[in-house]
Every structure is written in C-alpha cells, then in structure tokens.
Amino acid sequence: MPAVCILGGGYAGVRVARELAARLDRSWSITLIDRGDCHQLITRLPELVAAKIEPRDACLPFQRLFARRIHRVRAEVLAVDLAARQVDTSEGSFQPDILVIATGTAPDFLDIPGAQTHCLTVKSVRDAVHLRDTLADLRARRHVTRVVIVGAGYTGTEVTGELSAPEYRVPGARALGWIDVRIVAEDTRLLPQASPRVSAAAERILVARNVPLYLGLSVQRVDESGVWTESGTHFDTDLVVWAGQTRVAVDVHARTGYDIPAGKFGVDPYLRVEGHDSVFACGDASSAFDYAHARISASSAQLAIQEGDLVARNIDATVRRQALQEFRPRILGEAISLGGNDAVAEVGGMLLSGRAAAAAKRAALLRYLAGLSLPLVA
Ligand SMILES: Cc1cc2nc3c(=O)[nH]c(=O)nc-3n(C[C@H](O)[C@H](O)[C@H](O)COP(=O)(O)OP(=O)(O)OC[C@H]3O[C@@H](n4cnc5c(N)ncnc54)[C@H](O)[C@@H]3O)c2cc1C
C-alpha cells in the first residue's frame, strides 16, 4: 500500500492530513506522527501564560479532528534521512513513499552560555503552563518579580503584552506581587516580521505601560543573576524567557550530514525539500519563498495553513502525475494581542487598535476553528 507520512500535527500538518484524506483515494495510507495527542493552538499560548485560558482551550484532540482513515502515531521523531525517506521515532521506523515535514521549530539557544539552563520557553502548551505556574509561584513570594523576555517577535511581544496588562499586573483580590517585565532583543524593532506601522503601534502600547524595550542588543550569557549583553549591560532578573531564535525541531543532520540553512528546510516553489522530490516541508519548518514580494515567507500560523494546503494539493498532483502549483502566499492581515483590551491589527491595509483589533484577532481564531468544524471553547 503506498503511504504518506506527515511529521507534526500543528497548523501545517493538520491541514495536510485533512486535505489528503479528502483527496487521496483509499489505496493510500495516511499517517500523522506527533509527540502529543492534540493539535496545539500555539497562537493562544500567551493567553495561557497569563492564566486567561485553560490548557484545554489551546488543545484540540486529534481524535476530534481526523477521520478514521488517518492513522495517528504518538511518538517523538528522532531523526530523518531525507534521501532514504526514513523516519526514526521513539515508536519505531517509517519509510513512506511521500514524506511531509511539518514539525515546526524548537528554541535555538545559539550556544549562548547558560541560556538553555536558565531560560524558560513558550513553544508548547506544556511550556506555557510551566511558565504560568513559575510566575504564580514567584509572585506569591515577592513584591516584585523581574522578568526579561529575550526576543521581540510574535512570542516575545505578545507574552510581554499579556504580562504587562493592567489586569495581570494588579490581579484584584489575589495577593500577588507586581511584574516588572522588559524585552531584550537583537531585533531593532518589535515584531520585525510585521509592517513598520504595526511594530510602531505595538511599541507605543508597551511604552505607555512603562515596559522598557532594549532593542538591538545581543545576549552574551545568562546565569542565576540574570542576562548579560555583548555590550556589557547586565539585567538583574528572577526569570528569563527565551523568545528568540528557533530552528527545525527534528534532527536531519546526524544521519545524513544535511545542513539546514538558517534553521529551516530550503524548499522549491512547490514546497519540496531541495533535492528531494518526494519530501515536502511546510509551516515554520520550511523557508518557503514568497516570489511576489521577493522574500522568505514569515513564520506564522496563517502561512503554515496555506503551505499545508498547497502541500496536500501538490501531493495529490504528484500521485495523479499532474502539474504542481507554486506557493503564492496570501496575507490576509495580521493581529497582535497585547493583553487587556489592547491589540494591534492590520486588515485590508487598515491599521486597527484597541477593541477593533482584539476583535480581528478573535475573528481569525473563530474562522480557523470554524474551518475545523469546532466551536470556540473560551
Ligand atoms: C507564543 C507564540 C505566539 C504566536 N502568535 C502568533 C500569532 O498571533 N499569529 C500567527 O500567525 N503566528 C503566531 N505565532 C507563530 C505560529 O504559532 C507558528 O508560525 C505556527 O505554529 C507554525 O505552525 P507549524 O504547523 O509549522 O508548527 P507548530 O504549530 O509548532 O506544530 C508543530 C507540531 O509538531 C510536533 N513536533 C515537533 N517536533 C516534534 C518531534 N521531534 N517529534 C514529534 N512531534 C514533534 C509538535 O508537537 C507540534 O504539534 C506564535 C508563536 C508562538 C510561539
């Protein structure tokens, strides 16, 4: 029986699996391998860190998402041999006819001394719960908890927004201490993937809350006392959150010596890994090129879904020996929530803020869940 194997059940992998189940005839087997048993709504993690939602609100069990014909394997992907299309996992090896890599990215601490040991991360529901609980514990014991967020992308900016929102900082009857949160990042502006006016609007909101933004600074090391930058600045801190560099979450190098440029798989216009016509990569794991704008596509849930969609169509075309389609991203807009009623969005060329922007963000989530035929839980 010919087989497709999809690694990763995130925004990209879920879309590939569901589309393939609708397109491929039943002579094909479809397997999805993920270390967890649910599709994690990564874009909701900042709300989870701020204890605004529960873990179940950011987890969609795979069994609710997939028809029975999609075979699910809960396993850790350990290594991938691209040439042989061999995948080694904690539950055994797989050698499909067509392989899809959609495992997203993992934190890349760039060999910065102490970073891996002393930083918490926000890449999964489990990470977010650990960060939420660590913050609650620190705040219960201190008048002021000092937090440094390393990185100014979606993760760093949204988590900082949630932790600096008035509702989180002054939590009513709960006897919790103040949060002093700041961003330290190599980026020279917040949200470097977004348009400059979205960045500027987000920056104005954080500055109005007295959140210090140390941009254009490289972290040199992290230790118990805090963060040291290459320019010699030291930030005393109780907690450091790594929201910086990331790279592909699976090991392809050890077996094959394949080097992953810029931490992501290079792909051709049809989203096949360069040099490997039966291996596709999509979502954050790949650096799809946006030919219309002559740039590498941003890492976003919106594009991960579009890439997953195209990968499924191109696998179907490959099987039917039809022409493959090129990736042409459609940017529908973007929305960044910053806690409380503050948000920034750009939709149809219009810059929105406040409740209108928060509504745009929520609408994007609702549209996504509706596409999966699921109600919004919280
Ligand atoms: C805190 C945060 C906030 C964000 N906010 C936004 C936002 O507001 N808007 C937006 O567009 N984007 C946002 N992003 C980016 C967006 O979440 C990503 O671009 C998107 O999740 C990428 O989807 P993906 O399918 O490629 O990977 P993921 O969604 O990360 O899914 C990868 C899947 O692979 C599995 N996996 C990984 N490694 C292995 C392994 N070795 N073995 C087995 N399984 C594995 C994981 O369990 C996971 O299910 C945010 C990201 C973060 C971290």
Q: Choose the residue to mutate in 300, 303, 361 for probing ligand 1, maximizing ligand atoms within 8 Å of C-beta.
A: 300
Q: Choose the residue to mutate in 39, 74, 103, 247 for probing ligand 1, maximizing ligand atoms within 8 Å of C-beta.
A: 103
Q: How far apart are CA 80 and CA 89, in angstroms?
A: 9
CA angle 158, 9, 330 (to 5 degrees): 60
Whether the predicted pLDDT of 251 surpasses 80: no
Residue pLDDT, tens place only, 294-322? 777 778 999 999 999 999 999 999 999 99
Beta bridge partners of 87: 80, 94
For residue 106, report the distance from its CA to the centre of ligand 1, in Å: 9
Q: How far apart are CA 288 and CA 299, in angstroms?
A: 10
H or E element in which residue 369 lies = helix 354-371
In this structure, the residue with its CA closest to atom 12 of ligand 1 is 300
> Which residues, other chains included, contact 100 with Cβ-Cβ below 8 Å and sequence gap of 6+?
4, 5, 6, 7, 13, 16, 279, 280, 281, 282, 311, 315
Whether the predicted pLDDT of 142 surpasses 60: yes
Quick one: pLDDT at residue 255?
56
Q: What is the DSSP letter of 124?
A: S
State the average pLDDT for the chain.
Answer: 92
For residue 303, report the distance from its CA to the centre of ligand 1, in Å: 11
Indicate which atom in ligand 1 lies nearest the CA of residue 46. 1
CA angle 292, 298, 304 (to 5 degrees): 100
Common-topology check for domains 3-107+246-331 and 115-244: yes
Residue pLDDT, tens place only, 89-130? 999 999 999 999 999 999 999 999 999 999 999 999 999 999
For residue 267, report the distance from its CA to the centre of ligand 1, in Å: 19
Instruction: Give the mean model confidence (pLDDT) for residues 172-186.
Output: 83
Assigned CATH topology for domain 3-107+246-331: FAD/NAD(P)-binding domain (3.50.50)
Indicate which atom in ligand 1 lies nearest the CA of residue 361. 8
Structure tokens at 360: 């745009």
Whether the predicted pLDDT of 167 surpasses 90: no
Tally the residues of the chain.
378
In this structure, the residue with its CA closest to atom 5 of ligand 1 is 43
- Which top CATH class is 115-244? alpha beta
CB atoms within 10 A of CB 364: 19
Quick one: pLDDT at residue 378?
46
Where in the chain are the domains? 3-107+246-331, 115-244
Report helix, strand or coil for 29. Answer: strand
Tell me the pLDDT band of 153, cut-offs 50, 70 and 90: very high
Residue pLDDT, tens place only, 46-85? 999 999 999 999 999 999 998 788 999 999 999 899 989 9
Instruction: Give the mean model confidence (pLDDT) for residues 346-355.
Output: 92
Q: What is the DSSP string of 212-255?
A: -EEES--EEEEETTEEEETTS-EEE-SEEEE-S-EEESS--HHH
